[in-house]
Amino acid sequence: MSLEQLAQVVGISVPQLSKIENGKTTASIPSLVKLGRELKRPVAYFLQTDSEVPRCLGTLVPRWDTEGAAIQRFADLVKEGSNGELSIAVFSGSQLGTATGQVDGLINGLIDVFVENLGFFSRHADVARIISLPFCFLDEDHYLRFKSSALFERELRQVLRDKSVELLGENWNWRRGPQLVIVAKQPIWSPADLKGIRIRSPENVIFSKYLAMLGADPVVVPWSDVSDAFAAGTFDALITNLSHVVSMRFTRIARHVTLLKYRPLDLSFAMNVQRYQMLVPSFQNALEDAAFKAGKYCSELLDATSQQLNQQVEEDEAVVSRVSIRPWQTESRNTIAKLEQQGYWRLGLFDAISAL
C-alpha cells in the first residue's frame, strides 16, 4: 500500500503517517488501533521489542519420536532462518500436559503453536469430531478434496479463527503415515474382534464413544503415558500410526500388528492468531520456509518406517496381519452415521463430507 492509500483508510494525514513510519513522531494509541485494524496486527505489534516474539510450541509427541525429531528440526531451521532472532522452544505432552490443556492454552495465548492432527479441536468444531474417526474419508483423494473445500474453510478454519486459532498454510501440513495400525496382545482381523477388548482411547469423548459402539471397552490414556500403561496392562490394544509402532517399539509389548490401510490425518500447525500477527513478515517467512523443509524431512523419516518395521517384527517375533479393509470401512462409516443421528454433531455434516 502507498502512504496515501493507508493514510486515507485510517484517517491520518500523509505527512503525519510518514513521520510515524520514519520514527520522527510517536503515534497515538487510537492511531495504532486504526493502523492495526487495517494491517491485521494487534496494537502490541507496534510496541514490541525483538525479545517479545512467540516461542512456545506444544506437541504430544516426545522429542525422540520420529515426528518429534522433525519438529525439533523445524525449531532449528526457524532459528537459522531468522538469524537467531526468533527462537522456538519445543515442549512435549509430558511437559505441557494433555491435548485438551494444550488446545486451551493455544486459544488463551499461553502456547504460541500447537502441532498435532486437527481431531484434537473436536471440542471447538463439529467437523473436527468427524474427521478424527477412522475411515471418515474413503481414500487419499477424498481427504485432499476435503482439505481444499469450502466446507473445510467454513466449518473448520473460520470456526477456529473465531476462537483465536489460525490454521497455517499448506506448507504447514505434514503428511503422516504411512498408515494406521492396531497393535494388540491378541489377533484382531475384523471389527468383530474388537468386542470386549480394552483399547486405548485419546482424550476425545467422540473417539471413546466410537470405540464403544464398535463393541470395544475404551480406556482413556494420554499419549505421554501410553507406553507405560500398555506395558502395565492398563489396556490390551491401541490404534496408532505405523511410525509410532517403530519409534516406540510397541511390538515388545504386543505381538500382533494389524495394518488398516488408512492414512492418519496430517500433522497440522495451529497458532494463536494474535501471536502470529505479532510476527514481522520476515519472521513469518522464516517460519513458513522452516515448516516446508522440516515437513519434507518428516516425510522421509516416516516413509522409512515400513522397512524398519520388517526388521523389528522379526527381532520381536511379532506378527503382521494384512486384512481386508472393506469390513473396517463399512462398519466404521456406519458407526459415524449413528453418532450423527445421536446428536454428537450437526445433522447432515457427515453427508456433506461424504459428498466431496
Structure confidence by residue, pLDDT tens digits, 187-226: 999 999 999 999 999 988 999 999 999 999 999 998 889 9
Q: Which residue has the cell 485419546?
A: 202
Give, as one character, the DSSP assignment of residue 174. Answer: B
pLDDT at residue 52, rounded to an integer: 57
Q: Thinking of the domain 56-176+265-303, which architecture would CATH place it in?
A: 3-Layer(aba) Sandwich (3.40)
What gap in Å lies between CA 356 and CA 352, rounded to an integer?
A: 7
Arithmetic mean of pLDDT over the chain: 90
Higher-pLDDT residue of 117 and 39 is 117
**174: nearest Cα among 147, 153, 141, 138:** 147
Range(s) for CATH 3.40.190.170 in the chain?
56-176+265-303, 180-264+305-354
What gap in Å lies between CA 345 and CA 340, rounded to an integer?
A: 6
Phi, psi of 275 (to 5 degrees): -65, -40
pLDDT at residue 72, rounded to an integer: 93
What gap in Å lies between CA 338 and CA 213, rounded to an integer?
A: 9
Q: What is the mean pLDDT of residues 274-280?
A: 86
pLDDT digits (tens, 9 = 90+) for 287-330: 999 999 999 999 888 888 877 888 999 999 999 999 999 999 99
Q: Which residue has the cell 505489534?
A: 45
Q: What is the mean pLDDT of residues 24-49?
A: 78
Cβ density class 73-87: b for 16+ within 10 Å, e for less: bbbebbbebbeeebe
pLDDT at residue 50, rounded to an integer: 59
Q: What is the mean pLDDT of residues 342-346?
A: 96
**251: nearest Cα among 182, 205, 165, 300:** 182
Higher-pLDDT residue of 110 and 284 is 284
pLDDT at residue 356, rounded to an integer: 96
Cβ density class 318-328: b for 16+ within 10 Å, e for less: bebeebeeeeb
pLDDT at residue 167, rounded to an integer: 93
Is the model's pLDDT at 53 over the cut of 70?
no
- Between helix 281-303 and helix 305-316 the angle, nearest 10°, is 40
Residue 54 binned pLDDT confidence (cut-offs 50, 70, 90): low
Strand 319-322 and strand 256-259: pairing?
Answer: parallel
Cβ contacts of residue 138 below 8 Å, gap of 6+? Answer: 329, 354
Is the model's pLDDT at 48 over the cut of 80?
no
Cβ contacts of residue 76 below 8 Å, gap of 6+? Answer: none
pLDDT at residue 218, rounded to an integer: 98
Distances (CA, A) of 50 to 36, 94, 161: 18, 29, 26
> Domain 180-264+305-354 classified CATH 2.60.40.10?
no
Distances (CA, A) of 295 to 55, 89, 101, 160, 245: 19, 18, 25, 23, 20
pLDDT digits (tens, 9 = 90+) for 104-151: 889 988 888 999 999 999 999 999 999 999 999 999 999 999 999 999
Beta carbons of 87 and 104 less than 8 angstroms apart = no
